[in-house]
Chain A
Amino acid sequence: MHEIIAKQGLSPNVTRLDVKAPRIAQIRQPGQFVIVHLAEGAERIPLTIADADPERGTIALVIQAVGKSTRDLVALEPGQAIAGIAGPLGKPTELIEKGRALCVGGGVGTAVVHPIAQGLKRRGIPVHSIIGGRSREWVIFEPELRQLGEVTVCTDDGSYGRKGFVTDAARELLAAGGIDMVYAVGPVPMMRAVVNLTRPLGVPTIVSLNPVMVDGTGMCGGCRVTVGGQTLFACVDGPEFDGHHVDFDGLMDRLGTYREFEQRASQACEAGQCRVGLH
């Protein structure tokens, strides 16, 4: 059992849970994730390790409530527990050895970018982060990222930082030159847009893919993605890949596999059949 130590709302639908998982807190590396299994009967869902406190033995999960399983999770309160957390899974981020890095985070992807920026900073790599959200209250992890380097905040409505998409800011920064590597994590259209910016410039770009997963150990093949024409399993070969070779259309498409079920689950959830609070 993994006890929830702290809970914090970060934006209208994003919640941070600090959860007891001492071993994972100790050895996790940027880019890695866990598979969370809330309780018997629950789904197994992948979540990035957004941060960790090895001393306290906790990891931070930053969860966007989009459906039944994520809503059940964010309904947990400190003192309650998650039955199973397996990890750390996936390959650690390929951190550059020298040069300058640009991290682009969209929405909850900002929390995924955070450990990458942490890793880079630890290596002494200057990091510029561009993060964004719909409006001010949707911007997350700004203070944490500010400790690691320069940060540009964008909001769609201009209510905070500069008005526009993260890709607009990225375009300018890339045009100015001097960026050796881009790490982009966010909704698929955002990652695709960033990759389309960096491709003509020849700037290598790593993206983090979020296909549907079950086991997270390479056993089921459900998380398969196409990269450079090859079928790879995101849970063991990724989740980060060379963005210039990712088949984003294929990823988007497969993400729609269970749309109908997700709607049914959400409806059932609204009708009060959620695992909320585990009562």
Chain B
Amino acid sequence: MSEKYTTRERLKIDRQKMSEQDPQVRNANFAEVNLGLQEKVALLEAERCLQCRDPKCVSGCPVMVNIPRFLDLLSEGNLAGAAQSLLSDNALPSVTGRVCPQETQCEIECIRGHKGLPVAVGYLERYVGDWAQGHRDQVPMQVAPATGRRVAVVGAGPGGLTAAGELARRGHEVTVFEALHKPGGVLVYGIPEFRLPKKIVEDEVSRLEQAGVKIVCNTVIGRTYTIQELRAEFDAIFIANGAGLPVFMNVPGENFKGVYSANEYLTRVNLMSAYQFPRADTPVLLGRRVATVGGGNVAMDSARTAKRIGAEASMIVYRRTRKEMPARAEEIHHAEQEGIEFEFLVAPVEVVGNEKRWVTGLKCVRMKLGEPDASGRARPEIIPGSEFVIPCDVVVVAIGTRANPLLTATCPELKLNKWGNIVVDEQGMTSLPGVFAGGDIVRGAATVILAMGDGKRAAAAMDEYLKTAPRLSRSAAVAV
């Protein structure tokens, strides 16, 4: 801890704010909302950390980032040290600093928060992560001597990329197979540019490539190669293919023109840049009034995207109240600032269309909250006779995703649970020896940091596994 402040003085420093684009300007562009901290401000915020002997913040973080250590180095202005420390715990701090639900993880536990506001761990993580991206030479990736082992990673989302980095660092030869034409997973096709610039993911991918990781896009495991074919070629495999199967509402009218899954809507706009049509070739229905069903990050991203591509009204339809919304607090707040309208305690029962089968509205019922359900949240109940129609021309369904069965269906040897998620042991190993899995395909739709944590843990377990695993005689069937 720097000597500049006494604890008393430290306690007097107010939590620093991050500057943001003006809501009325940003709701019409795709540039990042949060503008980042100035160095001076970041260092000052780092001074707010009390360097607790029992840092509760660390236990709030799913991957136990050593928060006081990197904050201490940061407060001293030792950015390279802070970055080194942070990166050894978390491979993608520029990402997690932006998208982690800090208010329910590290920051909620922060002892500094007992009196006043918690240390802005997320902002500082972002600050240090971004600094590291701009100063690669000062935080080089130390790669161990080659082990001669080949490992495959399926899926280039946060789980797969983290595992790839960790495995490469340990000297293994890593090949990542990605179904889409661009690596990043949800970070590139789901989470919009205004929340997570694509450049951050691209930078990270190029860093992995420099460390020798081979990324093979347009390769669908289960189709182009099966897991069993990969097993014949690679000494170990990590599966992180995510939970990309959209759930629909199963209400009448859901196939009318103008109804999108959030996955499709966001993929068109983000991955395929539909907002630039006709400069980019992929179109998306613009919609004057867009109703998004759901209350999570995915719903916020969709509703805020709709506003940005020109919707006069962009509405969130959620069956509970603001309090129960699973989205990050900051996203809800930003959405409100940007003029997204919220319909709480409302559930859709039908998509209404005209004679040409274009969407004209969303028929809903009003709900009231009853007894808590299994998740502890109040169970919404229908208020009889409360039907009404929200006029709209585009409906985006953002009520969740499930395990995509494409890969698992072609590898029946992989044990699944009843929801189709892959079952793993404590090491992250599946029912197939040498095949590990993590992220959303194991947990169901979860978070970026949990997927990354899985990738890191599995990489360590794979490294152990490889120490004793038999060496393969290869058939070179998988030509990459």
Contact = CB atoms under 8 A, between A and B. Distances in A.
Contacts of A219: 244-246, 263, 267, 404
B477 to A, nearest CB: 9
A58 B446 CA distance: 41
Contacts of A85: 218
Contact of B479 (A22, A68, A84, A275): A22
A231 B254 CA distance: 10
B325 interface: no
B179 A41 contact: no
Contact of B248 (A41, A68, A88, A231): A231
B180 interface: yes
Contacts of B281: 41-43, 68-69, 72, 265, 275
Given A218-B244, A219-B245, A253-B357, A87 B283 contact: no
Contacts of B277: 261, 264-265
Nearest to B250: A231
B272 interface: yes
Interface string B254-277: 110110110110011000110001
A222 B260 contact: yes
Nearest to A261: B283
B272 A257 contact: no
Interface string B201-239: 000000000000000011110011100000000000000
A216 B180 CA distance: 9
Contacts of B219: 86
A275 B282 CA distance: 13
Contacts of A96: none
Interface residues of B, number: 39
B406 interface: yes
Given A86-B179, A219-B245, A214 B220 contact: no
Interface in A1-59: 22-24, 27, 35, 37, 41-44
Given A86-B218, A217-B244, A264-B278, A258 B255 contact: no
B113 to A, nearest CB: 38
B267 A220 contact: yes
Given A23-B224, A221-B261, A221-B264, A265 B283 contact: yes
B285 interface: yes
A85 B181 CA distance: 9
A220 B406 CA distance: 13
Given A219-B244, A273-B278, A224 B267 contact: no
B267 A89 contact: no
Contact of A265 (B245, B261, B278): B278
A193 interface: no
Contact of B267 (A87, A215, A254, A273): A215
Contacts of B220: 86-87, 89, 216-217
A220 B181 contact: no
A215 B180 contact: yes
B184 to A, nearest CB: 14
Interface residues of A, number: 46
B440 to A, nearest CB: 12
Interface in B328-349: none
A231 B217 CA distance: 29
**Which of A69, A215, A262 counts the most chain B CB atoms within 10 A?**
A215
B223 A87 contact: yes
B280 interface: yes
B405 interface: yes
A217 B217 CA distance: 13
A86 B273 contact: no
Nearest to B178: A86
B263 A221 contact: yes
A89 B223 contact: yes
A189 interface: no
A1 to B, nearest CB: 11
Nearest to A256: B257
A72 B279 CA distance: 14
Given A89-B223, A231-B255, A250-B255, A217 B406 contact: yes
Interface in A243-271: 250, 253-254, 256-258, 261-262, 264-265, 268
Contacts of A226: 255
**Which of A217, A222, A254 counts the most chain B CB atoms within 10 A?**
A217
A27 B225 CA distance: 9
Nearest to B279: A41
A84 B219 CA distance: 9
A254 B224 contact: no
B179 A268 contact: no
Given A44-B181, A87-B220, A258-B283, A218 B267 contact: no
A236 interface: yes
A37 B181 contact: yes
A86 B246 contact: no
Nearest to A236: B406
A66 interface: no
Contacts of B217: 84
Contact of B264 (A89, A220, A253): A220
Contacts of B405: 218, 236
Contacts of A231: 248, 254-255
A27 B222 CA distance: 12
Interface of B: 179-181, 217-220, 223-225, 244-246, 248, 254-255, 257-258, 260-261, 263-264, 267-268, 272-273, 277-283, 285, 357, 404-406, 479
Interface of A: 22-24, 27, 35, 37, 41-44, 68-69, 72, 83-89, 214-222, 224, 226, 231, 236, 250, 253-254, 256-258, 261-262, 264-265, 268, 273, 275
Closest 8 CB pairs of A and B: A261-B283, A220-B264, A219-B244, A86-B218, A43-B281, A221-B261, A84-B218, A221-B246
9 contacts: A41-B280, A43-B282, A87-B223, A217-B404, A219-B246, A221-B248, A221-B263, A261-B277, A268-B278
